[in-house]
Structure 1
């Protein structure tokens, strides 16, 4: 059936009808007073979501673009940087730093496991000459469904004095990321995740400490120069042409999020995570990330001996439900269920019911009929 496609991937995520309608409005001039009023409201609400008094910039970029801006504006090509790598995106930030000539030291953990905060503590404590200028951590590692202990790592970084630079692409808007409370200096994310928008916008928050580091960061930049963005933000505008209609949608999405409230947003995502993981286990499948460090945005599943791609293909062809696949060495070995942004209980129930039917059609019957639905429903009833 046409127009029944259902996204259960960690991005892009479903978009509310009110946001779609906002984006369908006729564009207005991006140098007009009306647009500046919208930007003022959007900036205030972004600060609310980031839980910060810092500058928060809205860029015409993906999450990767936002992260690159966060790296090259505040680190120099000669700087030593610690980068946590336990998945595809941690690896990506290390590669970007190396591309700009930085001295990168990786703190690694196997895919599917969390980074060890004590490894960061040891490296930082040994750096008595304060050569380490930045620490880069992916909070929610989208490729594996692991939530790293950002709060603890950030505490060690704060004691040392380096910049704490964070990929919050699938954590912002799905779990608590109190930027000011945790002392996070640069935090980047993207619109197509917890923000309930299509791809196209990146967001970066910048602390006063990061702005001080900006003066010593000499990497050439133009479009991604956040000092230009700061000057424009003071006038409630942007240095270059913004995607006006996406910002219309952002205005509406942030209004929706404020009506729901931060605590309710976090509780909803925690509930969806718990229900999804309970259902997966009830179906005789294995969750890839441990319960103790489970992302609140995406659940990764190891369905062996059933092929992950066989499951994804059947879910798409039979039910028009999109699940995400594994990446790099885990391509074909795991699949990922996104449950962030404009997702609630009905969506998880639908996806689990379709997954049960799919598993049965592929010959996996090592579970009681309805076990997944029962497990998910039990979580929802208790909460």
Structure 2
């Protein structure tokens, strides 16, 4: 059946019907009072989502634009930084930092393993002259399904240095509790096609007071991503450039949905779905790729035995119209990833586990009696 594809990937994520409907309206002038009202409202909603009184700025661009903006608006050429690298997006941080001439020290972990906060602590303690300006890391490493301990790492930064913390929260914001002000995070980058439940095209940068102090000293080149321009205009409920107007309509609608559900309920839902997926997968005799206890509430990486993971993905897409994500780089064919982020409900969780179990049985690769996986998933959903 056509047009029935169900996205169970870490992004783009499913979009609610009312959010899609909001985008079908005719565009309005981006300098009009009507649009200014939307900017004012969404700015306050974004502060609510980030749990901050700090400035949250909206950029027409992907999550990578927000990541790059976080670097170039706070740092200067030659600055020493620490980049956490335990996956594809940790690698991206390193590449962006080096592209702008930063002096990069990496803290690394094998793909599937979390970053060790003690490694950050040791490097910061050894920097007795406090020349390290920033610690940069990915919170939810989408490529492997790992969630890094952002809170502890940020605490080490604050306790042992004068550096700022710049965090890629693209797949964790809206799925995990990230109280920006309480934790004292300086820069948070995120993107619209994840927990926000809207199509790709908008990204967001939240900047603390301290980050703005760093901004005053920053000499890296910037124009479109110059956040001073965004700050100046957001205070007038506007945008420095022509924004994606219809995506603002979607943003207003999705954030309204999120506020109605409530932050604690959103986090509980994602945690519940994560556990249901993980337990169902393990009950089928499959291995989780991520270290126990460090799985992301946004996505679960699965490492099948004695079968190409790409064949599983293809079969599930062909037979059930459910799209899963594959492994990246050296993990291609070795893992597949199940997204459970954003506009996902219990039916989606039951469907994807049922499809996976049926597919393995059809392939003759199911090592347990059929039904054990979905039974475990349903048990978790009914009792959590």
TM-score bin, normalised by smaller chain = over 0.9
Question: d(CA) in 1 for partners of 2:307 and 2:266?
Answer: 34
Aligned pairs for 1:65-76 (under 5 A) are 65-76=65-76
The aligned counterpart of 1:133 is 133
Helix, strand or coil at the partner of 1:374? helix
Tell me the distance in 2 between the aligned counterparts of 1:319 and 1:53.
44
Query: Shift of residue 365 of structure 1?
Result: 2.5
Residue of structure 2 equivalent to 1:332: 333
CA distance in 1, matches of 2:243, 2:127: 42
- Pairing 1:133-172 to 2, within 5 Å after superposition: 133-159=133-159, 160-172=161-173
The 5-angstrom pairing of residues 185-224 of structure 1 reads: 185-224=186-225
What secondary structure does 1:193 align onto? coil
Q: Distance in 1 between matches of 2:36 and 2:94?
A: 36
Q: Where do 1:25-64 residues align within 5 Å? A: 25-64=25-64
In structure 1, what is the Cα distance between the partners aligned to 2:236 and 2:199? 26
Q: Deviations over 1:196-254 (max 9, x none)?
A: 01100000000111111111110111000000000001101100000000010000000
Counterpart CA distance in 1 for 2:305 and 2:91 is 26
CA shift digits 1:11-51 (9 cap, x unpaired): 00000000000011111000000100011000000000000
1: distance between equivalents of 2:250 and 2:191? 14
Write the distance in 1 (CA, Å) between the matches of 2:348 and 2:123: 43
Question: How many pairs are equivalent?
Answer: 383
What is the alpha-carbon root mean square deviation over aligned residues? 0.6
Q: Secondary structure at the match of 1:205?
A: strand
Aligned to 1:10: 10
Residue aligning to 1:265: 266
**Offset at residue 276 of structure 1 (A):** 0.2
Partner of 1:302: 303
State how far apart, in whole Å, the 1-side matches of 2:373 and 2:9 are.
Answer: 19
SS at match of 1:91: helix
Shift of 1:332: 1.2
- Structure 2 SS opposite 1:291: coil
Q: SS of the counterpart of 1:376?
A: helix
SS in 2 for 1:293: coil
**SS of the residue 2:81 aligns to:** strand
Q: How does 1:62-141 map to 2 (within 5 A)?
A: 62-141=62-141
CA distance in structure 2 between the aligned counterparts of 1:367 and 1:13, rounded to whole angstroms: 31
Displacement after TM superposition at 1:290 (Å):
2.1
Q: CA–CA distance in 1 between the matches of 2:375 and 2:68?
A: 44
Q: How many angstroms apart in 2 are the aligned matches of 1:365 and 1:203?
A: 43
Q: Any idea what SS the aligned residue of 2:228 has?
A: helix
Distance 2:305 2:31 in 1: 55
CA distance in 2, matches of 1:365, 1:67: 41
Provide the C-alpha distance between the structure 2 equivalents of 1:333 and 1:340, rounded to a whole number of angstroms.
Answer: 22
Q: Which runs of 4+ in 1 moved over 3 A?
A: none
Match of 2:316 in 1: 315
Aligned partners of 1:233, 1:73: CA distance in 2, in Å? Answer: 16
Moved more, 358-367 or 21-30: 358-367
Q: Which residue of 1 aligns with 2:21?
A: 21
Whole-angstrom CA distance in 1 between matches of 2:362 and 2:370: 13
Are the counterparts in 1 of residues 361 and 370 from structure 2 also a CA contact under 8 Å?
no
For residues 288 and 32 of structure 2, the distance between their equivalents in structure 1, rounded to whole angstroms, comes to 50
CA distance in 2, matches of 1:355, 1:6: 14
Structure 1 residue 320 displacement after superposition: 0.9
Tell me, in whole angstroms, the C-alpha distance in 1 between the residues paired with 2:76 and 2:94. Answer: 14
Q: TM-score, normalised by structure 1?
A: 0.99
